[in-house]
Every structure is written in structure tokens, then in C-alpha cells.
Amino acid sequence: MLRTFLVIVQERSISGAAGKLHLTQSAVSQALKRLEEQLDRRLIERHNKVFTITKAGEEVCRAAEGIYGSVAQLLAHVSETEEEASGRIHLLAASRINSQVYDNFWAAFHRDYPRIEVQMDVRPSSEIVTLIQQRVGTAGIALCRQMPKRLEHKVFLHQRYALFCGRNHALFGRKDVHIEDLMGENFVSFASDALGDSLSPLTIFRDQRGFSGRVVATSKQYDEVKRLLIAGFGIGCLPEHSVRRDLAEGRLWRLPPGEGVCSVDLHLLWHRDVQRTQAESVFLKYFRDYIDAFTMAQRLEPAE
């Protein structure tokens, strides 16, 4: 029941949790009901599709995360051997990390440590930061502007965002476009492009420049934002290094300003106070040492 409750909180819906757990919505609802009855507390409030976690629910969530974190560490410790590093790591990663160095890292890591199992979950950057703060997962790779307390970090990619439109947009292919011509254009945006979230500089840029267009499409996933841009829903921001092939092959078109919109760093994050397994310690050291061998320009080379 605790596991089901955690997934309900993470997905923020009964139906989403049912899909994640491969259960029926009825089974998930019954598990939540039994847990609430055992604790004699309401854990989740749902009114007119508004999903709210009660204070009791937040306390149960923190306790459950601690329990599952301890169990995961215990299982990883038990699976390790003295002969060769083994066990499991749990990485929380932002969507579509486009870097050949990153791809090559995984090939090298698996070659050198074939007994280490990898669980990788793709989540929004803001959620990754929160989960690492709660000691869920080995490490995270996420966009982060301000580093929270008790988290250690290492900059992996220094990403510059610029404005683009897709081949189905009226501005595609025009070389005479100025920033003033964009003021009324509608936007395709990342769901995290909101004040206080990981991509809020993009919101600040739009506000400061006086854009009047609406945000007409959003997604948490890089690929879906790019898909909607190419479809012509509006203009939007993407990391420059990640769209070189799309520009060369005529799917996207670069828009002003020439200096781009903003820069946001992609960090490797881990909690400083967690007792790590052998596999987790090996992973963190290997990743940091591996990327140190490459310049930032090399790390920004997109995957083939």
C-alpha cells in the first residue's frame, strides 16, 4: 500500500498511478482507501479534478520514501561482492540529454562495471531536485539555477537556449526577421517554463522583451516540445547544441536574438548525507572523472 501511495503522489492521479503500476484504477483506489483506514487519516483530497496531498499525506510520503530508500540500499549492499563492484544505481534524469560524451560514458561504464544494474527514470528537473533532496535515488541530472542546501553538484552541460520556429511556421526560412517581429507570436513551451521553476529565465525573457503572444502548447518532454515547434504551433526555446541536425535538415529555423535567450546549466546532483552503496559510490566517481576528461565544447557535441 505504501508503494502504491508513493506512485499516486508522484503521478498526482489515480489513473496515472494505475498505468505506472500496471493495475486497474479500482485496485489503486482500494489500496489508498485501506491505507487511509489503517491510519485513520485522509491522505489525499480530490475536488473537481484538483489533486491535493494533506499534511498527513505529506508525512506518510516522507516516511515511505525513507523506508524504501533504506530497503533499496540494503538490497544493493547484499548484492555486492568483493571480487567486482556490483549492485544497483537509480538515476533520475531530465529528458533528452543530447551529448555524445554522455552516450559514450554509459558504454564505458557498462564495459568496466557490467555487474552494476541501472534504473533510469526520466522526470522534470524540478521533480528531480525535490526527490534528491528527499534522498530518493542515487543521483540526478537536472537543470538547476539555485542549488538547494545539502545537495552536492557538478556542472555537466552549459546549455544556451535560443528561439526557433518549425518548417510549418510562417517565419520559417526568413532571414529578414527582427526581434520586434516576434512580439505577437504564440509560444510552445516546456511545462517547467514558469517563474520559480528550472527554466524560469525563459519566462523572464519573454516578460522583459514584451512578448504578447500566448503559450499555446506545453510539454514536460523535450521531444514533444520540438515536435510541436516543427508542426508550427508557435515559436519556442530549445538548447542550441541539441538542434544542429534539425537546422541542417530543414526542420527548425533559428530566430533572433543572435545571442540567444539565456543559459541554464545541467548538473549532476547528489545528496551529501546519504550512506552510499559500493555501486553508487563507483558511479558518482566514474561519472565525475569521465566528464572531467572533456571540454565543455566536447560535451555539447550532440549524439550521432
Across the chain, mean pLDDT equals 86
DSSP line for 235-286: BEEEEGGGGHHHHHTTSEEE-S-TT-SEEEEEEEEEETTPPPPHHHHHHHHH
Higher pLDDT pick, 15 / 292: 292
Residues 154 and 51 in one domain: no
Tell me which of 34, 50, 79 is where a domain ends: 79
The Cα 179–Cα 177 span in angstroms is 7
Backbone torsions φ then ψ of 278, nearest 5 degrees: -60, -45
The pLDDT of residue 93 is: 94
- What is the maximum span of the chain, computed from C-alpha positions, in angstroms? 67
Which cell numbers hold the place of 197? 521553476
6 & 153 share domain: no
Residues 96 and 226 in one domain: yes
Lowest mean pLDDT among 17-21, 165-169, 259-263: 17-21
Percent of the chain scoring above 90 in pLDDT:
47
Residue ending a domain, among 17, 49, 79, is: 79
Are residues 172 and 295 located together in one domain of the fold? yes
Residue 66's domain is classified under what CATH number?
1.10.10.10
CATH number, domain at 101? 3.40.190.290
Among 82-86, 100-104, 168-172, 183-187, the range scoring the smallest mean pLDDT is 82-86
The whole-angstrom separation of Cα 25 and Cα 18 is 5
Percent of the chain scored above 70 by pLDDT?
A: 90
Same structural domain, 70 and 95: no
- The band of 279, judged by pLDDT with boundaries at 50, 70 and 90, is very high
Same domain? 148 vs 240: yes
Torsion of CA 256, 102, 280, 269, to 10 degrees: -10
10 and 30 assigned to the same domain: yes
Residue 149, domain extent? 83-304
d(CA 303, CA 11) in angstroms, rounded, equals 30
Are residues 238 and 203 in contact, defined by beta-carbon separation less than 8 angstroms? no
Which residue among 51, 79, 107 closes a domain?
Answer: 79
Q: Does position 291 have pLDDT exceeding 80, yes or no?
A: yes
pLDDT tens per residue, range 21-48: 778 888 888 888 888 888 888 888 877 6
Both 189 and 231 in one domain: the answer is yes
Same domain, 173 and 60: no
Q: 126-183: per-residue pLDDT in tens?
A: 889 999 999 999 999 998 777 778 899 999 999 898 999 999 999 999 999 999 999 9
Q: Is the pLDDT of residue 125 over 70?
A: yes
User: What pLDDT sits at residue 254?
Assistant: 96
Q: Is 37 helix (H, G, I), strand (E, B) or coil?
A: helix
Residue-level pLDDT at 48: 67
Q: What is the pLDDT of residue 139?
A: 97
When mean pLDDT is compared across 15-24, 74-83, 89-98, the lowest value belongs to 74-83
Give the residue, 123 or 20, on which the prediction is more confident: 123
Shared-domain flag, residues 95 and 180: yes
Mean pLDDT of 112-127: 92
- Residue 195 scores a pLDDT above 50: no
Looking at the fold, whether 43 and 103 belong to one and the same domain comes out as: no
- Confidence band of 49 (pLDDT split at 50, 70, 90): low
Residues 164 and 218 in one domain: yes
Per-residue pLDDT, averaged over 68-81, amounts to 56
Q: Count of H helices and E strands in the chain?
A: 11, 11
CA distance 268 to 175: 38
**Model confidence at 74: pLDDT above 60:** no
Domain count, the chain: 2
Please report the pLDDT score of residue 196 as a whole number. 53
